[in-house]
Amino acid sequence: MGQDIHGKTAYITGAGRGIGKATALKLAQEGVHVGLIARTESQLKQVAEEARTYGVQASIVPVDISNLNQVEAAVQHLKKELGPAQILINNAGIGTYGHFLEIEPEEWKKTFEINVYGTYHMTRAVLPHMIENNAGDIINISSSSGLKGTAGSTAYSASKFAVQGMTEALMQEVRRENIRVFTLNPSLVATELAFGEDLDDQDKEKYMQPEDLAEYMTAQLKLHPRIFIKQSLQWATNPF
Ligand SMILES: NC(=O)c1ccc[n+]([C@@H]2O[C@H](COP(=O)([O-])OP(=O)(O)OC[C@H]3O[C@@H](n4cnc5c(N)ncnc54)[C@H](OP(=O)(O)O)[C@@H]3O)[C@@H](O)[C@H]2O)c1
């Protein structure tokens, strides 16, 4: 009843580690060719190597998504190597935490430049082909902080609320072109962004794993093109 995603092409930002890496590898396992974007080339190379073991093409572009020119060049490169994206996963992001008055203005700005403008730049570069093809999937990784503010997350939460608004508005514009645009709103996932490198292995098991999110996204992408879940919160069952 659903659709086969085997043979499709996905561009994934933040694919060097964490949720992006797990998603790239899960999609590769499903036969999806993957274009991998993040700043750290060594991490992208490792992920690409592993993805290719599933028999798909994997291409990397080490760029900063907050830079519009770099993003446009990256998307041109991926188009040449893999063809245009049928799936875009806007996953790259940074966490900025602290009391409102303790976060420096530069940190606020950077949070928006990566989390909001990065998502905007990638979408702007990829969307015209999706419109031409009258099909496509854009998944924006927001956060539970994109729906609810909590103390210590003013910058992060504001950036994710912005992603939320942009996604909802764009979805209303392009659903007529059969393009599905939706957010995921995970609570804590055991990655470097949430826990740094300090979390010991035992504790990590209590929280959602990047692979859980990868599986969830893959399931959504396999839904029949006539349906999508436009927003969803992912929670760990028992993180106590
Ligand atoms: N972990 C959680 O608890 C959680 C919960 C809800 C939502 N999220 C969201 O999930 C997404 C992925 O987070 P994660 O936990 O997997 O984090 P992570 O492990 O820190 O990975 C983040 C990825 O984004 C890339 N990235 C960061 N800034 C970038 C930039 N300017 N240009 C290109 N790539 C950039 C990083 O690579 P480089 O540093 O090499 O560029 C890395 O590959 C984020 O949007 C985050 O807000 C996470």
CATH for 77 = 3.40.50.720
41-61 pLDDT tens trace: 999 999 999 999 999 999 999
Distance 18 CA to ligand 1 centre (A): 7
Counting atoms of ligand 1 from 1, which one is nearest the CA of 113?
A: 31
pLDDT of res. 201? 67
103-153 pLDDT tens trace: 999 999 999 999 999 999 999 999 999 999 999 999 999 999 999 999 999
pLDDT of res. 175? 98
Q: Is 64 in the pocket of ligand 1 (CB under 6 A)?
A: yes
Whether 239 is covered by a domain: the verdict is: no
Distance 42 CA to ligand 1 centre (A): 16
pLDDT of 63 above 70: yes
Whole-model pTM over 0.85: yes
Q: Are 188 and 236 in contact (CB under 8 A)?
A: yes
How large is the angle between the packed helices 68-82 and 119-133, nearest 10 degrees?
Answer: 40
Q: Is 59 in the pocket of ligand 1 (CB under 6 A)?
A: no
pLDDT of 31 above 70: yes
How confident is residue 215, by pLDDT bands cut at 50, 70 and 90? Answer: very high
Whether 32 is covered by a domain: the verdict is: yes
pLDDT of 195 above 90: no
| First-last CA distance in the chain | 38
Whether 88 is covered by a domain: the verdict is: yes
Whether 155 is covered by a domain: the verdict is: yes
Q: 137: helix, coil or strand?
A: strand
pLDDT of res. 199? 63
User: Which helix (DSSP H) or strand (DSSP E) does residue 166 occupy?
Assistant: helix 154-174
pLDDT of 198 above 90: no
Q: How many CA atoms lie within 13 A of 126 on its CB side?
A: 31
* Residue minimizing CA distance to atom 45 of ligand 1: 93
DSSP type of residue 189: B
Q: Is 26 in the pocket of ligand 1 (CB under 6 A)?
A: no
Whether 1 is covered by a domain: the verdict is: no
Whether 4 is covered by a domain: the verdict is: no
Whether 3 is covered by a domain: the verdict is: no
pLDDT of res. 61? 98
Mean pLDDT of 193-200: 79
Whether 240 is covered by a domain: the verdict is: no
Which residues, other chains included, contact 21 with Cβ-Cβ below 8 Å and sequence gap of 6+?
15, 43, 47, 210
Q: How many domains does the chain have?
A: 1
Q: Is 38 in the pocket of ligand 1 (CB under 6 A)?
A: yes
Q: Are 2 and 218 in contact (CB under 8 A)?
A: no
Mean pLDDT of 167-188: 98
In this structure, how many other beta carbons lie within 10 angstroms of the beta carbon of residue 211? 16
- Beta bridge pairs of residue 62: 38
Mean pLDDT of 210-236: 97
| Domain enclosing residue 19, as ranges | 9-234
Output the average pLDDT for the chain. 96
Does the annotation mark 156 as catalytic? yes
